[in-house]
Amino acid sequence: MSSAWSRQRGVSPETSRLLIERAHEELVAGNPGDTRLADVRPLVRDSWERSLASLVGAEGLPPMDLSPEELEEYRRAHPLATVMDMVRGLLLPGEAGDSGVVVAVGDASGRLLWVEGDHDIRGRTGDMGFVEGANWSEDAVGTAAPGTALRLDRSVQIHGAEHYNRLVQPWSCTAAPLHDPETRRLLGVIDVTGGVEAVTPQAQLLVDATARAIESELLVARLRRRSETPKRRKARRAPVRATLRVLGRDRGVLETGNPAEPTTSVELSARHAEILLMLATHRAGLSAGALGELVYGDGATDTLRPEMVRLRKVLEGVAPALVPASRPYRLTVDLDTDAQHVVSLLDRGAHRVALAAYTGAVLPDSVAPGVEQLRASVSATLREALMEDAGVDVLLAYADTDEGAEDAELLRLCLEMLPARSPKRAGLVARLDRLTP
């Protein structure tokens, strides 16, 4: 809570924070009539009540609505892509990596499309899922500046404990909606997240001014285009979206669809899942010999060819666009995998989200050499990224997984990071004693 607001109420900022935290606990616990809710700003209290009515979790992670490929394609076509240099110039001048804040630009649905700024803060906010592709609408994560600004269609500031989601309460943010300069239709939202400096009156003035500058630039660019000779545009077919799910399952599941149709799922045989996974992770294509070695281990092209015929028949019935081409074997459309999605989340610093998305090893029962190599690579990438950059809460969650349960180095790192009086230390010490001969 801001110090100015606290002075108006005659209490210290720390007391205000504690009052808000207690009011939040009572509301989430099902006590909406608790008198402490009167200590919460009406804007925030109303948002909490909407969040509660929408069954938003008080400690959940935001849904990842856009895969890396979907995000890239969507950003290229989004009208706000043309003003990102202006956003950087106004809100992240100089060395953006040391700016002390993170700047995010999202669409009208609350999905974050660009997240840039201070490297350290991006790493820490990434743990709560504040990353590109995540849905930060009010219905998804509760009270937070981006989603609440979109819901109210006005600029808002949310101070630490005012966030509905406890994972977000260490941070403060200011956000403003962005509109089409002619129709006033919502185009998206711009947000600045950081410490107390992100919720000063000056921060709100700057964010509001940036929003107005963006809308003015969009109008100027539109008028300029209208003055040029119009060109005919070819209609494009809706892109096929396909995902192969292989984490923690012995038989892969292929999900397909496009933006205009619902997603369909089909379970594949173990061998077909192995072949599609190899083609998805070798985008340039593979010769029959190379694919045979990755799947069978001995370059058994005579065994591979009839299996490819069977795979093609399956795909022709459920996803014709995914039927592999030959010479070399390759996919002509992108096929995402949940394994690659986890690695992408780690690259974006979303450690907690990546760990939640990692539902198990890649096709754990497969002995295909290519699958075994990918399985080890994804597992090692996850471990290394978490050990290097993740917070202690994420590391403790990883230590409770099958892969982290007997990792002595991981348990020692958790002990080093935990406060000396943490009640969690005793359990870690006992686990280490069992692992140590």
pLDDT in tens, 352-384: 889 989 999 999 999 999 999 999 999 999 999
Measured distance CA(405)–CA(161) in Å, rounded: 33
In the structure, what pLDDT confidence band is assigned to residue 3 with cuts at 50, 70 and 90? very low
Q: Print burial letters for 33-63: b (CB count within 10 Å at least 16), e (below 16).
A: eeebbebbeebbbebbebbbeeebebeebbb
Measured distance CA(103)–CA(120) in Å, rounded: 13
Q: What is the overall mean pLDDT for the chain? A: 88
pLDDT at 9 over 80: no
pLDDT at 233 over 70: no
pLDDT in tens, 12-26: 667 677 778 777 787
In the structure, what pLDDT confidence band is assigned to residue 397 with cuts at 50, 70 and 90? very high
**CATH fold of the domain at 68-226:** Beta-Lactamase (3.30.450)
Q: Phi-psi bin for 202: left (phi > 0), alpha (psi -120 to 50), beta?
A: alpha
**Residues 317-343, mean pLDDT to the nearest whole number:** 91
Q: How many CB atoms lie within 10 A of CB 184?
A: 10
**Residues 203-232, mean pLDDT to the nearest whole number:** 85
Coil, helix or strand at residue 36? helix
* Interstrand relation of 101-107 and 186-194 (parallel, antiparallel or unpaired): antiparallel
Residue-level length of the chain: 437
Contacts of 153-159 with C-beta under 8 Å, sequence gap 24+, read 153/177, 153/186, 155/204, 155/207, 155/208, 155/211, 156/43, 157/2, 157/199, 157/203, 157/204, 158/44, 158/199, 159/1, 159/2, 159/199
338: exposed, middle or buried (Cβ count in 10 Å: 0-12, 13-18, 19+)? buried
Residue 172: its pLDDT value, please?
A: 96
**pLDDT more than 90, % of the chain:** 63
Q: Domain residue spans in the chain?
A: 3-40, 68-226, 238-405
Torsion, Cα 155 159 160 163, to 10 degrees, reads -50
Residue 173 pairs in a beta bridge with: 158, 193
**Contact in structure between 292 and 301 (CB atoms under 8 Å):** yes
